[in-house]
Amino acid sequence: VARIRQDQSVDGGRGLVLVVSGDNLRKGAALNTIQIAELLV
């Protein structure tokens, strides 16, 4: 979670805006390595 801010569009000030990002590079690289190893075995 990068930032948490109050959502002005929600009445009563009870809303939050979350900025979230993910990195699938490591997971993708690991899966690719496993698939190559399976082909070699």
Q: How far apart are CA 21 and CA 24, in angstroms?
A: 10
Structure tokens at 22: 């993910």
Locate the domains of the chain by residue range. 3-40
Q: Is the pTM of this model over 0.75?
A: no
Q: How far apart are CA 36 and CA 28, in angstroms?
A: 12
- pLDDT at position 38, please? 92
Q: Are 5 and 16 in contact, with CB atoms under 8 Å apart?
A: yes
- pLDDT at position 1, please? 61
Q: How far apart are CA 19 and CA 40, in angstroms?
A: 41
- pLDDT at position 25, please? 75
1-41 residue pLDDT tens? 678 899 999 888 889 998 887 777 777 888 888 999 999 88
